[in-house]
Structure 1
Amino acid sequence: MRSLIGLLSGYTLLICGNSLLTTLVSLRMLHVERSALDVGLVQSCYYLGYIGGALGLGPLVARIGSQRAFIGFSALTALAALGYLSFDTPGAWAVLRLVTGFSMVGVFTSIESGVNGAVPNARRGQAFALYLVLTYLGVSVGQFLLGWTTTDGAGASDFERIFVNALFVGALIPVALIGDWQVPLSSPQGAAASPLATPKRPALLLDGLSELKRAAPRSVPACIGAGLLSSAFYALTPVYLERIGFPAADISHAMGIVLIGALLSQWPVGKLSDRIGRRATQGLVSVAAAVLAAALIVVRTPLLVDCVLFLYVALTFTLYGVIVSDVNDRVDQSARVKTSATLLLVFSIGGAAGPTIGSLFMRFLGAGGLYVFALAVTVGLATLSRAQARV
């Protein structure tokens, strides 16, 4: 665990910066009077980069080691953040979001491989729980930092963008200086190569899809739905809040507070799924989230919006974990790596589409259109869970 101290400390700083940057991009585009569709298209590029990275970065991280990979991809993220100081057009920002998504996949892969390599099986669950807690903590703190750096409601100033870059660069320090470095193990001559290095990623994806079709055929659309909800929330909720009258500083506070819900709900929802079953839990969570999404279409009182959003996030951000747990209950031990990789890619596909589709709903239906979209997705997930229960 000692070798994880530096990695997880740097990771938390990096997640703070990435969370802050995501909201700053949306607010800056609103400040220069770009449409919700423009915001959605630019933010979708993050997930397109994410998909590209997920298709090819695993073998590289396995070869060079988690610390070196983290430092390299964090540096690439910092360089992309500098680009926001030099360019201020949607096209340039779309490219920068693409690069950020690509590099963040490298960061996530290095962290998860570092956790796997640093702890024994008996402690892996605890280590991953800590990883998830730090993820949501970093995301939430990043939103509160926006309130400290935004003083005039004018979107992303140069100071704010420099502050983001400082967080990205600062994340390199603990990784480089703290903890023991893990050295990737080379296969002995003549021995079988590491499974991370040998399969081609497209083949891994096809094998994973085949296994999912056999064991849990409705997990693919369910995972896409979870990706749609997550990415649309991150990219477009700042737009939604601005359109219903929240000041910029209040937007950051609201985002920070509601994202704490994602942190607090993971354990109780996981416990519920152990008790009543994954698919029943998916159905209950989806129905409750649909009710909350319907409320957000019409509710406009700030305190009430905050409360409903808190509950909505607490529910919808548990869906991916429930879906993955259901799949792992049903696949063979030998197939878990490829199905997990496939589910991550499928989730990213939903993530790439969510901001664009959500912004189209907002364009035609107004601010509440975002949660009309969320209502449609959650109803679809509830229907899927009922169909799965009969399988």
Structure 2
Amino acid sequence: MRATLFSLISLFISCFILLTANGLINVLMPVRMALEEFDTDSIGFVQSLYFVGVLVGAIYSKKLIIRAGHIRMFAGCVSIGAVSILICSLHEDIYLWGCMRMVLGFCNASAFSAMESWLSDRTTPSNRGRVLAVYNATMLAGLFAGQFFMNLAEPEESKLFVIGGILLCLAVIPIALSKHKGPRIEEAKSISLLALYRISPLGVVSCLVAGSIYAAIFNLLPVFANENSIVDFQLSLYMGVAILGAFLLQFPVGFLSDKYDRRTVLFSLLSVSAVSCVAATWFAEMENLTGLFITTALSCGIIACTYPLSLSETFDKLEKDQLVAAMGCMVLAFAFGGVVGPYSASLVMEWVGSAGLFYCLAVTQLLLAVFVIYRIKMRPALPVEEQTHFVMQGGAVTGAVVEMAPEESRITSDS
């Protein structure tokens, strides 16, 4: 285990720097657009375009890896991402920023596909879970650290865009100078999204919804904070608490998911999160920051767990040789949700105010909870001892992490 982690140290360093850059950019973009007095729906539109890029990257990243190799593809895509954020510093135009946000989404999806398939190649069934835990912790640590880079300069200036570009360039160096070569790409069994839906309707639908609510909360939360006078270091702390909640809640949720019927766990979590979202708006109105921070962390934590729960639910129904292809479909479903989520939530925010973000999330989660009840009635629960292990989510949802998923799965038929 120690030798495996040591051989991957350059990848982990690049991953940390890359996520630090994205942690900064993810807060900077909506805050800057709000300062430029862009409409909330325009901000949501730009943030949604990021997931258009993720969608395209999920489709084409493997072809790029085959063509250029892991290291050159990673270096090229991250460098293009640096160019895109630096271009944003030149001119305040909603369409330019939307295009650059889409480019960054494509670059991130491709970069994570390279890193995660590399991790899969360097690990064994006996240590994959522990290596994946280190990888996820590295990603979330980078996202957390990136929030506090917002305090290095005023968001009205171009310095933060430049810092983001510098960090992205720095992320290339450890992998590019590593003495290790990237793994070879092997062809995987294909499966269509429709076929996967027939196998696991709840898994696919919950993955789609997970993409929508995940993208909405983490892309528009800075806008909500700004409209509630949470700025400067307080904004960094608020976003940091949200990411910390996303990390910490995966441990108890993973335990519950492996111990009980995960559909029941998902229903319970969605109900708690919906209540927490409504409570967050009340605390915001009362200017109770402690309550707002706690409820936001709880909601973000549960929302971040919805995607890995949907993966685990789907993996329960699949054979081992279907996992890689199924993961590709799940990434596409998540990205489709990510395209819709921020823009839809921004329209609600434009209509009812900043609280519309949490109201939109609450309603969406309750609708998914209703579908969970329907699926519970339609199909008997899988025995707990036959369930695959919970697949922990990191700070980004892209790539080939399925290759590090549980090795033993099976297919079950609809009842």
| Residue in structure 2 matching 1:38, options 33, 38, 42 | 42
- 1:217 aligns with 201
Whole-angstrom CA distance in 2 between matches of 1:213 and 1:26? 34
- 1:195 aligns with 187
Q: Which moved more, 1:297-306 or 1:42-51?
A: 297-306
- 1:17 aligns with 21
Aligned amino acid, residue 57 of structure 1: S
**How far is 1:311 from its partner?**
1.1
Deviation digits for residues 332-354 of structure 1, max 9, x if unmatched? 22211111110111001111111
Asked if the contact 2:15/2:171 (under 8 Å) is kept, the reply is yes
Aligned amino acid, residue 302 of structure 1: L
Whole-angstrom CA distance in 1 between matches of 2:196 and 2:210? 16
Aligned amino acid, residue 84 of structure 2: A
Whole-angstrom CA distance in 1 between matches of 2:12 and 2:195? 33
Asked if the contact 1:64/1:184 (under 8 Å) is kept, the reply is no
Aligned amino acid, residue 30 of structure 1: A
Query: Aligned runs of 1:285-300 on 2, under 5 Å?
Result: 285-300=269-284
* 1:122 partner SS: coil
Aligned amino acid, residue 122 of structure 2: A
| Residue in structure 2 matching 1:79, options 67, 83, 91 | 83
| Residue in structure 2 matching 1:241, options 225, 237, 250 | 225
**How far is 1:220 from its partner?**
2.1
Query: Aligned runs of 1:95-106 on 2, under 5 Å?
Result: 95-106=99-110
Q: Which moved more, 1:29-38 or 1:80-89?
A: 80-89
Query: Quick one: structure 1 residues 65 and 127, their matched pair in 2 at CA, closer, same or farther if it must change by over 3 Å?
Result: farther
| Residue in structure 2 matching 1:345, options 326, 332, 337 | 332
- 2:171 aligns with 171
- 1:331 aligns with 318
* 2:249 partner SS: helix
| Residue in structure 1 matching 2:152, options 127, 149, 153 | 149
Could you tell me which runs of 5 or more consecutive residues in structure 2 were left unpaired when the two chains were aligned.
Answer: 380-415
RMSD: 1.6
Task: From the two aligned structures, give the one with the greater helix fraction.
Answer: 1
Deviation digits for residues 95-125 of structure 1, max 9, x if unmatched? 1001000111111100111101111221111
- 1:109 aligns with 113
Whole-angstrom CA distance in 2 between matches of 1:273 and 1:183? 32
Whole-angstrom CA distance in 1 between matches of 2:160 and 2:64? 33
* 2:95 partner SS: helix
Whole-angstrom CA distance in 1 between matches of 2:147 and 2:276? 22
* 1:195 partner SS: coil
- 1:266 aligns with 250
- 2:302 aligns with 315
Asked if the contact 1:8/1:131 (under 8 Å) is kept, the reply is yes
Aligned amino acid, residue 332 of structure 1: E
TM-score, normalising length: structure 2: 0.86
How many residues of Structure 1 are paired with residues of Structure 2 in the alignment?
371
TM-score, normalising length: structure 1: 0.91
* 1:86 partner SS: coil
Aligned amino acid, residue 158 of structure 2: D
Query: Quick one: structure 1 residues 299 and 119, their matched pair in 2 at CA, closer, same or farther if it must change by over 3 Å?
Result: same
- 1:190 aligns with none
**How far is 1:164 from its partner?**
0.7
* 1:353 partner SS: helix
Asked if the contact 2:46/2:98 (under 8 Å) is kept, the reply is yes
- 1:230 aligns with 214
- 1:48 aligns with 52
Aligned amino acid, residue 168 of structure 1: L
**How far is 1:219 from its partner?**
2.2
**How far is 1:41 from its partner?**
0.5
Whole-angstrom CA distance in 2 between matches of 1:210 and 1:96? 31
* 1:184 partner SS: coil
